[in-house]
Structure 1
Amino acid sequence: MISAIKKLNNKKFFRGAVLLAIFAISALCYPFSQVQAGRVDNFSDRLTRLAGGVYTDHEIKFKTKSGVSSSLDIIEITFGNNFGLSEISIDDVDLFSGSATGLENEKNLTASAAADRWGLALSGQVLTFTPPTNSAQGEVAINDYVVIRIGKNASGGINQIKNPNSSGIYAVSVSGAFGDSGEAYARIIQNDQVTVAAVVASGSGGPGSITPDNGAPGVSNIFIENLTSNSARIHWETEERSTGVLEYGLDTIYGSEFKDLDNLLFGHNFDINFLTQDTIYYFRIKAKDFVGNETITKDYFFKTLSVVNVDNFSAVGFDGQVLLEWQNPEIDNMAGVRIVRSEKGYVGSPQDGTVIYEGPGLSFLDRNVINGRWYFYSAFVYDTTRQYSSGALAEAVPLASGQAVPPKPEEIDIGKYIEIIGGLRFADLKFFVANETIALDANDENRVSVLASSLLKILLPKDKVVKKLKTIIADIGNSSYLLKIDKKRDTYTTTVSAPGFAGEYPIIVLVVVYDDGSKDSVAGTLAVEGYGVVEEIGEAKFGEAKAGLYANKVAGVKVTLFAKQIEDGEEIWATWNGIKYFQDNPQLTAADGEYGYMVPNGEYLMTLEKNGYRKSMTPKFEVDNNIVNWDLNLDRTMERKWYMNFWWWILAILIFTFFFWRSRNKRKGKAEKEKMRLEAEAVN
């Protein structure tokens, strides 16, 4: 009886162990989660055209309740059978995610998924997005927005989706193993120039429901991009589909306009060309919806850039020739460089002197020279509409072997001019960056700070020039530049690229040479600072996968700058408006891990974000030299190993307990059998 009870207890223990093991294995396969899959929120599909049979861009957006946390969490977008997707390729599709707009993080799309790369497959009416093979929690965070652009609105996009030929309401849906689902409905019409079309989410009033339109379209997110010396792109958005008219000119009377009355759009971009450099232009926007409600904005303005001079322009004389070398500025609309030579001193215009070179090169060998004569060279950069920079300067004398350097003509030798006492002060000069939106203030030691390679504009008010002027030259390091009068004829200016290497450039000399043989000069220091660098922390910390020591620069880090604002007496930290200052914010670090901002002086802080690293925030800090370039560290998140999973340990304990129990029972069974054998032998 006792033996039977023991066997029964052993069986119960065994069954319990097996059930616990099954439970543990199930927990491993289906881990607990607080996330509940369901219907996506705010699902929409915005089409740039709504007419039947036309090609159009799509921007699909939804808020996911489940997120994406593994490589199995695929997302599928399915279009109704009447949409034409046959011409769409991977180059015509962009994928983004983010917590605010959904555009914060762009995903890397390839034909098949790999580490840090999403896979995209197109089959019939379905686009399948497969997460990277190394996806982890937060690849797409819970409650993040997902944005998918298809067509010419994608970076590099060429092909578009064709609308159904017939009018009607057509569905676009999202589903997939990531757990969420939803639908949107697009109303396709015969003529999208006169009739409104609704794109509505399932459950928001039914397919095709339209709210009566009684208000003018709101206009927002107005900014200037792609600004050059002769062109600009003006962007704005409307809260409903609208036509666009852009009026612009040299004053608020305008006089010129661009119209797009053929398309009802949410996003509007107008490119203006053939503008004059260093000039203020005014503009306003007119937006009209399909029923004629119109919004006219207030007046805005922007200023075109100046054509930037070459860097490091130098002239070296040899026997019967002069070698000229320079570095071209990094500007999108540069067309070439014109080099002018003179024996009578520097020329102030590209139309003066003898033109010896014109083109996009970086050097020229001037062989049409005579040994023993001084030659003065001016290099003028010109843009695509033949507007010129103020000019960079260099001089040289070719010499035969053993020939002595001759003196310069007295009327040219600036060193022989008489210095005016008590004339110009360094404070009379004005320094600007970011297209004159940020003024750089010199300190008490006449020191001006700037980020390496920044475009620097130097101005001298005309009323500081007290005599009849011959020329104005600014020396920065080893480079010399001409200052020319601006269009208002009240300021002398030049625009240059700051040196590309950090360091103290101890001489900023501005020489004003007058016709009467006198000169006036001031000196200071241009302090060029390097960009900030984001690196991994120097030593692995507790909770990290053991990686030893490392100090690698980190590419692809999203650096966001926040500025302190005071509203109603309260301290508020808002994302710094980089667009206003012609800079990106946030910035993504390049392969060298670098980032940098030129900002108005004030109080700031920054956040750093990248998958695989802990999101971090700097302390708030004060900027007093217009530069944000901290060197920052990122801390890796813990790389979870299999042995860090709680349920693996439960399973291991159960397996150990089971085998221990079975081994013990086997030993006990053998002992009992041996005892019974010995007892039987004793009886016999």
Structure 2
Amino acid sequence: MNFCDVFPRFLQHALIFLAATLVSLGGCSVAYAATITTAHDIPSSLQLSQSVDHAVTFTTPTGVAEGQTIIFTFSSAFGTGAVVENDMDISDDGVDLTTASDCTGSEQVSAVMAADILTMTVCAGDGGSIAAGSIIVVEIGTNATASGTGSNQITNPSTGGTYFLAVSGTFGDRGTILYPISSSTDQVTVSATVSVTGGDGGGGSTPTADTTAPSISSITVSGLTASQATISWTTSEMATSAVDYGTTASFGYTSSSPYTYVTSHSITLTGLSEGQTYYFRVRSSDTYSNQATSSTQTFTTLDTTAPAITMIEVVDITTSSARATWTTNESATSVIEYGTTTSYGSTSSDLSFVTSHSILLTGLTDGTTYHFFVQSSDASGNSTTSSDQTFTTDADDVPANVSSLTVTEEDTQLTLSWINPSDTDLTGIRGLICTDGYPTSPSDTDCTVIFDGLLTSFIATGLMNDTTYYFGVFAYDAALQFASGALASGMPRASEEELPSDEETPDEEDPGDDDIPGDEDVPGDDDTPGDEETPIEEGEEDEGQPPSDTTGETKTCGDGVCAGEETLAICPDDCGEDVPPQEGETIEPSEEGGNMQFLVAEDSLSLFTTDSGVVKILPETLVHLVFESVQPEEGISILITLDDQTYLLTPTVSKEGNVFFEAEILSPLTPGLFPLILTTILQGGTITTQIFTIEIEGYGYAFEIKGEEQVIIGDTVFTLYAEDGTVWDSSPFFQWNPFSSDTSGQYAWYVPNGSYVVRAQHEGYQMAQSAWVTVADHVFAVSIEMSPLVVQPFFEGQTIFSGGASFLSDVVPQIEQTQQAIQDLPGVETAIDISVPVLVINAGAGVLLMGSAFNLLPFLQYLFTSPLLLFWRKKRQKYGVVYHAYRKTPVDLATVRLYRLTGKTTEGTFLGKLVKSCVTNKEGKYAFFAPPGKYYLTISKSGYTFPSNYLVQEKTDGNFLDVYHGEEVEVTSDSALLTPNIPLDPQEVTQAHTPARIILITRLRWIQQIIAPSGVFLSLVILFIEPSWIAGGLFALQAVVYGFSKRLAVSRKPFKWGIVYDKTTGRPLANVVARIFEEKYHRLVETQVTDSKGRYNFLLGPNQYAARFEREGFVPVEVKPIDFTKEKESKDFSTEVSLEPEHLLKDIPSQDH
């Protein structure tokens, strides 16, 4: 046997052996364990050495049969020794399975923890098997409460690092969950749902290539700072790492490690914005490029910057309250601490997050300085505190004096009358009577209180005739603060008896002395002893005679002698400047000027004498007089007399120890010069006087010239401009600017000295402007001439038609002749044949246009179904309303559909079956009757969106209750009425509100209104020329289409127009852009452009709005707030607005002074 014979046989045996081996291998099946999906754990903490609850969740692709086990193997670094059966629960698709330490009982699962391994066995015969695809949740710790109450927890490792939990068992599935344990407290555990993508595998019995993507689990955000965060996760196999992130769900940024394959992934994101919410997802691809992507998650970087507090102000200060305001650069809370010292003691707060802060402080003490600081904290707890601030509450002003105090002298009585001041807190008037001089205070013990109450007159009775009585009338407020006091005096007098006339004298004639018989017996003249008077004993007064002084001389006002208690204020005839003082009394010479202040405009301005030596004051205004005593001493009294009115000055002492005497009086009404006499009475009887000259300046006014006389124009608006061209700010001086006069047309201001110009405006007159006026005495009051606007005359036309039946009898034959003449014209029949199909196409196009653009189909549905509502009219109790979310007005022709709820998608979207639908009417009303069940509503309307984002959180909206946002509605009673109120948001189409587009739409509607009736007119002409059924039907069709267009396309006609005027000429302004905004979020509601007559109109419902009017070349005007919240129904907003040309204000600063 040679080699050639042997080798083929050897090769043959080898080939047979190889084939047998391959066949045996091909007959074997290779087993692969399934991988659990959506595996994750939510530990209560990932911090070192913490006792933690676990909730391990995964989906089993295979299922767990009875007798099979699920094994959880924890890393040995975990402390599991304390965990027992009561600390563990297991559930299958949300259904808890009963547990025990073994399977001897009827429990479904046995649970045993030993040496960091938890073994759970599904007991045979107890119905605990778990189907494939089920979600298994295993709870370990105090969260296990289904089959016993858990009290023990697993302890985290004491050393930082990544630790694992392996899932295995005889049920065949495998998986691993990783835990990044660290000392940080800023970890956030996130659950992830893994979406698996991979290529299709090949067939055959041999193992195929890997087509399964990695399983992503245990997504964690840690290491959070203001600018970075670390994203960690685990995969079931070696894979790459990538994180997509950004400030929106569209991400925009990616950080990745595309060439590193690991099972524990960690990527740190840097350069992040502080306090910003970021969206992110993680992606991992294995070596076969199978990629898994997590669902979208979020985290927020830390906000470590405290709010910045600026613009701290205290406003609206009164005697008992004040409002503190400030701003922050981010939303924050509002806290203020305040008190009369830097220890504060009181706190007021508002914990809502805002950027404009406002806190009202109440219960304060008048005239008191308060210390305070404000504090604001943002949502991250960062807080900022201001430095110490102060404010002072207003002092409770003393009431002004009464005015026009008069005394009427009568027999044994005196009648007092006066006018009370206008102080709002005026409480009463106290009156004192004295016999030895004026009272020095409202509590003068030398006088008697004769009345105390809120009076305007009083009669003092039981007085002695020919005796001078002195009165003081003091106004006071609730705080018992008294005015300085108005003074007056009077003397009761008996009515004079009639003396006999010369004709009634008993003697017929008066003979001379020589002719009188017995003349020698009559006492002679001065040299006759019998002429002497009977002497009066010392200390006695001759009854009925005027009182005398110690020298025996009488003291009578008007006798030319200033004696006794007579003063310049009491008796100016006797105590004038040229009257010599009596023995024992000193009258100092008078002075011009002196230390007297005249304060006006709530003490904001101090008047002074002009070069001519006078003080100018406006009529009937309150003047605060303050006199500083040069040599103050006890017992001093100071009086002032002005226009026959005398007032007592009240002494006050300043902090510096200076003594001031004050009074608040009302200036005289009549313009002119008045002396103001100040009388100082010292304790020793010395009297000094000072005389000031007061000039009462007349008011300014607006007038027009009619003929040769001035006619005052009442109800005029005056606006004062400062020399910089801006409207003068009158608020610091407690006055109004602009000022609206009453019917008298008068105005005036107290102003700081400077240059001013005033404008006057009145409807029907051209705006008038004064020349520049330089004020040197703090009073501005000039008169302005105005001219009426020139109005073009209007001529009415004459009546065209008259007559009745005779007119018709004449016209009808003419119409018939015209009709026949037209029919006989050549080409008319051909024109009619062409026009008929054109009109049919025109009508059809109109129907299609209205169907697509003007809600024709909803209108037809409403038209044909609304009569059916009559059958349920008696049952219907109310309606739901579909309304505009911003302006609260009804939405017409909105389609409302009612669905019976049958289920929900995984995203939460409702699934249902349409039950009913209806269309709202002009009032936006609708209603549904529904049997018991669960329902939801949908609403569709062109140009609107549902549900409303503007009112997403609102359950009630003003007058609208039960606001509906697309929620599930459950009906539990038979034939329930479903009528929630449904707001719709208008679609935000910016270009629809541009002025150019508004003007274009307005012009197209104007053209449409002209062209629209043309089809009706043309079809009527055809019917007139060639009457037929076709022509009649065509005319009816055109009329119906035109009627539909009027209903659907033509805007409503306002009840009232608003008009925009040119402020200088008073003429209406066209092409003014008028916009209306809702106040809360400043959303644009509607834009209009005024027509050639300057007209506009907005229909608004119960809400708050703001309006803005603007046109090129004019100063824009805003009108706000427009408060319609108390209105029950929609209402027209149509106020008159005036726009001022820009060039006028530019001209004002150009004046040189």
TM-score (norm 1): 0.52
- Pair 1:531 & 2:691 matched: no
Deviations 1:609-661 (A, max 9, x none): 455554444332100111111122444455577789xxxxxxxxxxxxxxxxx
Please, which runs of 5 or more residues in structure 2 have no aligned partner?
1-302, 497-543, 548-554, 558-562, 568-574, 576-580, 797-817, 822-1153
Equivalent position to 2:713, from 528, 553, 561: 553
Aligned CA distance change for structure 1 residues 273 and 288 (closer, same or farther; 3 Å): closer
Distance in 2 of aligned mates of 1:474 and 1:256: 47
- Counterparts of 1:367-516 in structure 2 under 5 Å? 367-402=461-496, 407=555, 411-414=564-567, 415=575, 418-421=585-588, 425-462=592-629, 464-465=630-631, 469-488=635-654, 490-516=658-684
Distance in 2 of aligned mates of 1:468 and 1:524: 25
Distance in 2 of aligned mates of 1:311 and 1:615: 39
Contact 2:475 2:483 in 1 (8 A): yes
Match of 1:583 in 2: 735
User: 1:527 Cα shift?
Assistant: 1.1
- Pair 1:606 & 2:758 matched: yes
Deviations 1:537-559 (A, max 9, x none): 3369xxxxxxx99935231x443
Deviations 1:62-88 (A, max 9, x none): xxxxxxxxxxxxxxxxxxxxxxxxxxx
Q: What SS does structure 2 have at the residue aligned with 1:412? A: coil
Contact 1:427 1:442 in 2 (8 A): no
Contact 1:424 1:520 in 2 (8 A): no
Distance in 2 of aligned mates of 1:616 and 1:248: 52
User: 1:339 Cα shift?
Assistant: 0.5
Q: One-letter code of the match for 1:619?
A: A
- Counterparts of 1:12-411 in structure 2 under 5 Å? 215-219=307-311, 223=315, 231=319, 234=322, 238-239=326-327, 243=334, 245=336, 247=338, 259=348, 261=350, 275=366, 281-283=368-370, 286-289=373-376, 291=378, 292-295=383-386, 299-301=390-392, 304-352=396-444, 353-402=447-496, 407=555, 411=564
Contact 1:333 1:384 in 2 (8 A): yes
Deviations 1:359-388 (A, max 9, x none): 222110011422232211111100121110
Contact 2:623 2:667 in 1 (8 A): no
Aligned CA distance change for structure 1 residues 633 and 289 (closer, same or farther; 3 Å): farther
Q: Which has the larger radius of gyration?
A: 2
Contact 1:254 1:282 in 2 (8 A): no
Contact 2:720 2:757 in 1 (8 A): yes
Aligned CA distance change for structure 1 residues 549 and 597 (closer, same or farther; 3 Å): closer
Distance in 1 of aligned mates of 2:786 and 2:337: 45
Aligned CA distance change for structure 1 residues 396 and 288 (closer, same or farther; 3 Å): same
Q: One-letter code of the match for 1:559?
A: F
Contact 1:382 1:388 in 2 (8 A): yes
Contact 2:400 2:421 in 1 (8 A): yes
User: 1:453 Cα shift?
Assistant: 1.8
Distance in 2 of aligned mates of 1:452 and 1:388: 24
Aligned CA distance change for structure 1 residues 232 and 493 (closer, same or farther; 3 Å): farther
Aligned CA distance change for structure 1 residues 420 and 469 (closer, same or farther; 3 Å): farther
Distance in 2 of aligned mates of 1:447 and 1:424: 14
Match of 2:780 in 1: 628
User: 1:466 Cα shift?
Assistant: 6.0
- Pair 1:563 & 2:722 matched: yes
Distance in 1 of aligned mates of 2:322 and 2:749: 23
Distance in 1 of aligned mates of 2:377 and 2:597: 49
Aligned CA distance change for structure 1 residues 248 and 354 (closer, same or farther; 3 Å): farther
Deviations 1:304-336 (A, max 9, x none): 533211112222321111111111112211112
Match of 1:158 in 2: none
Distance in 2 of aligned mates of 1:254 and 1:495: 38
Distance in 2 of aligned mates of 1:254 and 1:628: 48
Aligned CA distance change for structure 1 residues 539 and 315 (closer, same or farther; 3 Å): closer
Q: One-letter code of the match for 1:579?
A: S
Aligned CA distance change for structure 1 residues 383 and 559 (closer, same or farther; 3 Å): same
Deviations 1:247-294 (A, max 9, x none): 576xx869797846478776665566763xxxx654566555563545
Contact 1:376 1:393 in 2 (8 A): yes
User: 1:396 Cα shift?
Assistant: 1.1
Aligned CA distance change for structure 1 residues 237 and 552 (closer, same or farther; 3 Å): farther
Distance in 2 of aligned mates of 1:387 and 1:420: 33
Aligned CA distance change for structure 1 residues 358 and 539 (closer, same or farther; 3 Å): same
User: 1:244 Cα shift?
Assistant: 6.9
Contact 1:216 1:288 in 2 (8 A): no
Aligned CA distance change for structure 1 residues 296 and 335 (closer, same or farther; 3 Å): farther
Distance in 2 of aligned mates of 1:283 and 1:641: 67
Aligned CA distance change for structure 1 residues 504 and 322 (closer, same or farther; 3 Å): same
Deviations 1:27-48 (A, max 9, x none): xxxxxxxxxxxxxxxxxxxxxx
Distance in 1 of aligned mates of 2:357 and 2:785: 40
Distance in 1 of aligned mates of 2:623 and 2:477: 18
Please, which runs of 5 or more residues in structure 1 have no aligned partner?
1-211, 541-547, 565-571, 645-665, 670-684
RCO comparison, higher one (Cα < 8 Å, 6+): 1
Aligned CA distance change for structure 1 residues 296 and 381 (closer, same or farther; 3 Å): farther
The share of aligned pairs that are identical, in percent, is: 19
Q: Which moved more, 1:611-620 or 1:261-270?
A: 261-270
Q: One-letter code of the match for 2:464?
A: I
Deviations 1:519-578 (A, max 9, x none): 11011221112332234x3369xxxxxxx99935231x44332333xxxxxxx3343332
Contact 1:598 1:628 in 2 (8 A): yes
Aligned CA distance change for structure 1 residues 518 and 451 (closer, same or farther; 3 Å): same
Q: What SS does structure 1 have at the residue aligned with 2:458? A: strand
Match of 1:142 in 2: none
Equivalent residue pairs, number: 408
Q: One-letter code of the match for 1:483?
A: L
Aligned CA distance change for structure 1 residues 328 and 561 (closer, same or farther; 3 Å): same
User: 1:515 Cα shift?
Assistant: 2.0
Distance in 2 of aligned mates of 1:239 and 1:610: 41
Q: One-letter code of the match for 2:672?
A: E
Contact 1:219 1:236 in 2 (8 A): no
Q: What RMSD over aligned residues (CA atoms) do the two structures have, in Å?
A: 4.0
Q: What SS does structure 1 have at the residue aligned with 2:705? A: coil
Q: Which moved more, 1:629-638 or 1:261-270?
A: 261-270
Aligned CA distance change for structure 1 residues 455 and 259 (closer, same or farther; 3 Å): farther
TM-score (norm 2): 0.32
Q: What SS does structure 2 have at the residue aligned with 1:580? A: helix
Aligned CA distance change for structure 1 residues 290 and 613 (closer, same or farther; 3 Å): farther
